[in-house]
Structures are given as C-alpha cells and as structure tokens.
Amino acid sequence: MADNHNADAAREPAVSASPPANEAEHRALLRPSSFISAISDSNEGCEERAFEPSEKVIVSVSGDPKGNANEEGAFYASGGCMPPFSWRKLWLFSGPGFLMSIAFVDPGNIEGDLQAGATAGRTLLWVLLWATAMGLLVQLHAARLGVATGRHLAELCRDEYPDWARHALWLMAEVALVSADIQEVIGSAIAIKILSHGLLPLWAGVVITVLDCFMFLSMENYGVRKLEALFAVLITTMACSFAWMFVETEPSGKDLLIGILVPKLSSRSIKQAVGLVGGVITPHNVFLHSALVQSRKIDPDKEYEVREALRYYSIESTLALVVPFMINIFVTTVFAKGFHGTKEADNIGLENAGKYLQEKFGGDFFPILYIWGVGLLAAGTSSTITGTYAGQFIMGGFLNWRLKKWIRALITRSFAIVPTIIVALFFNKSGYELDILNEWLNVLQSIQIPFSLIPLITLVSKEKVMGVYKIGPRMKVSNGY
C-alpha cells in the first residue's frame, strides 16, 4: 500500500506533494500572483464582484457538521486522500448547476425540440444527447474557472484581453443574450396568451413577464438559497408538465432508443440540428455558471477547498442536466409522434402547438393545451430570470460597473425589452413568422458559441490564470482545440 501511495504521489506532484514551507509560495502555486493582486483587499472596494461575502452560502468542507476544516486541510496537504463523499455537502453545493440547467430548456430549446420532432421525427434525438454532453463539458470548465480563480469569465476577459478584444467579446455576449432573451420573453408571453384564452396579446404578456422577472429576482435579497428554491419549483413544474404530455402520447420505447443511439441526418433537417445545438449550448450560460459557483464560500488559496468544491459541483451539474435532457426528449418525442409526416409539420410552433396537441391527443384528466401552456410559462419565466442574472454578470464583469443589483438588472432588461416589444407587436397576429424568427435566433446563438467558448478554453488552460487547476492537452482536444 505504501509503495502504491508513493507511486501515485510521484505521478501527481501538484496534488499530493507537501506544500512549500512558505505559505505565500504555496498560494502562488495555486493561483498566480497577478490574479491575487487583482483581487486583493486593496482593490476590493473598486472591483465588481459576483457575490458579496455576506451573500455567500457557508459550506463546511468537513464531514463533521461542525466543520473541522483546518485538520482536514492539513491532512489533505500532507498527502492524504479526499474526504469521503457526503450527501450533506452535495446538498450545500447544490443550486448553481440547477440555475445553469434552465438555459437547456428555455423556450428557444422548446421551439427547437418541436421543430426537430415535427420535421425529422426521432432521428435528431442523438443530436440532443451529444449536444447536452458537450454542454455539460463546457459548463464544468466554466465552474472550474470560477472556483479556481474566485472570479467569473467576464471579469477575467476584462483583464486578459486588450480593450478592442474585450469590447468585441462583450458585444458578442450581449448579442447572444438579447437573442436568447427575445425567445424567453416571447415564450412566456405566448404561454400567458394561451392560458388567458387569447385575452392578453403578446405585448401584454411581455410586460407581465418583465415585471415578474424583477419580482422573482428580488427574492435574492432574502438569500441565494431562496432563489434556488424558486428555480427548483419551476424546473419541477416543467418536468411534470412535459412528462404528462409524454405519457399521454404513449410513444414507442424502441423508436426512442434508436433515435438516441443511431446518428442520422438528412439535408432537410440540417437547420433543425444546428438549432438544437444553439439552443442547448447557450453562450451567456458560460458566463452565468462561472459566476454562480462563487455563491459558496470557498477560499481559492486553499487547494483542498477548491478540489472538493470542483468535485461536488461536477456531480451537481451532471445530475442537474439529466432533467433538461429528459424534458427535451419528452417534447421532441411528443411532436415526432403527433406531427412528423403530417401537413401540420411545416407550420407548427410555440403558439399553435397547444391547439394542435389538443386536437391530436386531447387529455383524459386535464386538457393538454393547458399542460403545454403551464410548461411553457415555467420555461419562459425561469429562463428570463437567469437571462437577466447572466446579463448582470456580463455587463458588470466586462465593464467593471459597481452598481446596485436592481440598477444593473434594469439596464440589462433595457437591452432586450425594446427589441422584444417590437417583435411582440410585429408578430402578434403572425405565428408562422414568429416561429421562423425563433428558428433563426437558435442558429444565431450557434454562431455566437465560439465567442464565449474560445475565451473559456483559453483561460482555463493557462497556468498564469489557473495555477495547478489548469486543464491538460487531452481536455483541450476534447473541446475542439
């Protein structure tokens, strides 16, 4: 056993070697001095931060409820193993991954799912699987960046890139965010129109959604865990609604497995496939997740805290993305069974989907039209809130604006509310054109992916930024580098 332990230590000196005698030297190995100075106490008053220290959730890094962190840290630094898995600690770390997962089931995704199902049947389910897997890998890197540096992606881009590149990246992030925001707000507005029997037009639904967004965001004043609980309710509502639809349509399990496991792509479904990727891997979500992981109180200078946080965030993010993957499968399968190869397949969209579902499947206990409306409203509301949240981090990080959160939220909302109102007024009586717009917005977000992915992979693989937590060559290759 001792020989094996020594061999492991030789292979991984950065993890198991004893820390330098000089504490400052040890910290420099974990996080380079250029970044320590950038977030030092002397700059604390003028630096934009994702979360103030008083807002962070205290997470014990010990299996002991009293948190015997110093003894555990000394044991790990001296070559000991990581502490055993703890469900209690996983619960304390749970939250950021579920907020991140909302972007995988926003109305843009739902639109892409139903278009893919109606146009290509179940043949694009494999695209959903691999897009979700790639999205998970990207989000794990975003979490790694945020935990290891104590800063989020937009802040690091501000320091690492020259002004022209920083402003270009900020502009691209805002374009991606606004395009996603249009889909999210319009999706909520459509749901409100459905549930109100058409009494409330799209523009009224947009106004209600924006007001709801500010109201729900105010819950953060009572603690980030309250906001996370709200999202848990919304995700559960979505899952139950779309699962109900899935069960009502009685799909074939064999066809479902073939669609997931057997890659197949025709020239007619290329746009839908690209839209699925753009809907699942959303650029603003990378910025969001790298900031959300800082809602837990973790010292980036303590290796055992960082590595344990990365461990639990990885588990939480993986579990969190199982739910949106299943929701996307539910929606695609329902529309594949009901409308693939029919005349309705060419003009089905978010607004008329409920009516078509009602005509096709009805509903035994509760009209499927309203199940669709409730699920769509939960998707739109939750994604609108996280979109506003992401916008605050993007603007604050790139521009270093030290503003109150409600002011930043108001400014962020203003970037999207004007184009969204225009879209709502212009497409109020033209559902088909609105569906076409939604499809192309998904494609636009696919084009925007490199402008967040390239900075992320560049930064997370730089020793100057990440210290001992940088990713290796194999991981870079898996991301397309």
Question: What pLDDT digit, counting tens, does each position of 230-265 carry?
Answer: 888 989 999 998 998 888 888 888 888 999 998 988
Cα 156 to Cα 149: distance, rounded to the nearest angstrom: 9
Tens of pLDDT, residue by residue over 324-334, are 999 999 999 99
Which whole number is the average pLDDT over 278-293? 88
Tokens of residue 435, six digits: 């569906």
Going from the N-terminus, what domains does the chain have, and what CATH number goes with each?
Answer: 98-478 (1.20.1740.10)
Cα–Cα distance for residue pair 89/49, rounded to 1 Å: 25
Contact 396, 403 (CB under 8 A): yes
Place of tokens 């109020």: 428
CA separation for the pair 107, 230 (Å, rounded): 18
Task: Please give the single-letter amino acid code of residue 350.
Answer: L
Kindly report the backbone phi and psi dihedral angles of residue 296, in degrees, each rounded to the nearest multiple of 5, phi listed first: -100, 145
- Alpha-carbon gap, residue 80 to 1, rounded angstroms: 13
Question: Where does 388-466 show beta strands of DSSP type E?
Answer: none
Token output for 302: 């303590």
Query: What pTM value is reported for the model?
Result: 0.82
**Residues sharing a CB contact under 8 Å with residue 382, sequence separation 6 or more, in sequence order:** 102, 106, 231, 234, 235, 238
C-beta separation of 183 from 408 below 8 A: no
Q: Poorest-confidence range of 289-293, 412-416, 454-458, 467-471?
A: 412-416
Q: Find where tokens 């055993």 sit.
A: 84
Query: Mean pLDDT of all residues in the chain?
Result: 79
Residue count (the chain)? 481
Q: How far is CA 328 from CA 20, 72, 274, in A?
A: 49, 42, 15
| Amino acid code (one letter) for 246 | F
E strand or H helix that includes residue 405: helix 405-426
User: Does residue 69 contact residue 298 with C-beta atoms inside 8 Å?
Assistant: no
Contact present, 241 and 441 (Cβ < 8 Å): no
Q: What is the pLDDT of residues 76-118, one digit of tens each?
A: 554 556 678 889 899 999 999 999 999 999 888 888 898 888 8
Q: Enumerate the H helices of 340-365 as residue ranges.
A: 350-361
- Whether 291 contacts 50, CB under 8 Å: yes
SS3 57: strand
The tokens of 229 are what? 């609980």
Across 283-308, average pLDDT: 89
Q: Tokens for 327?
A: 């929701």
Q: Which has the closest alpha carbon to 184: 428, 425, 413, 430?
A: 413
Q: 334 to each of 255, 296, 355, 372, 391, how far by Cα in Å? A: 12, 39, 14, 11, 33
State both tokens at 379: 């998707």
- pLDDT at site 65: 43
CA distances from 31 to 231, 271, 298, 306, 467 (A): 33, 43, 14, 11, 5
Residue 159 vs residue 418, higher pLDDT: 159
- The pLDDT tens digits for 371-430 are 899 999 999 888 888 888 888 889 888 988 776 666 766 776 777 677 777 777 776 665
Q: With 50 as the cut, is the pLDDT of residue 209 above it?
A: yes
What's the rounded mean pLDDT across residues 16-45? 46
Q: Structure tokens of 3?
A: 């020989």
Out of 6-20, 116-130, 417-431, which region has the weakest mean confidence (pLDDT)?
6-20
Contact 336, 70 (CB under 8 A): no
Determine the average pLDDT of the residues in 114-141. Answer: 92
Which residue reads 């029919």 in tokens? Answer: 342
Please tell me the predicted confidence (pLDDT) of residue 223: 76
Cβ burial of 276 (10 Å; 0-12, 13-18, 19+) is buried
How far apart are the C-alpha atoms of 13 and 463, rounded to whole Å?
15
Q: Which residues, other chains included, contact 12 with Cβ-Cβ below 8 Å and sequence gap of 6+?
A: none
Measured CA to CA, the distance from residue 402 to residue 132 in angstroms comes to 34
What is the residue-wise DSSP string for 136-181?
Answer: HHHHHHHHHHHHHHSS-HHHHHHHHS-HHHHHHHHHHHHHHHHHHH
Q: Which two tokens stand for residue 298?
A: 């973790």
The dihedral region occupied by 140, where left means phi > 0, alpha psi between -120 and 50, and beta the remainder, is alpha
Q: Binning pLDDT at 50, 70 and 90, where does residue 31 land?
A: low
For residue 362, the 8-state DSSP code is -
Q: For 35-44, which contacts have Cβ atoms below 8 Å and span 24 or more sequence positions?
A: 35/149, 35/151, 35/159, 35/464, 35/465, 36/301, 38/151, 38/159, 39/150, 39/151
* Selection from 346, 351, 313 nearest residue 202 by Cα: 351
Higher model confidence: residue 37 or residue 83?
Answer: 83
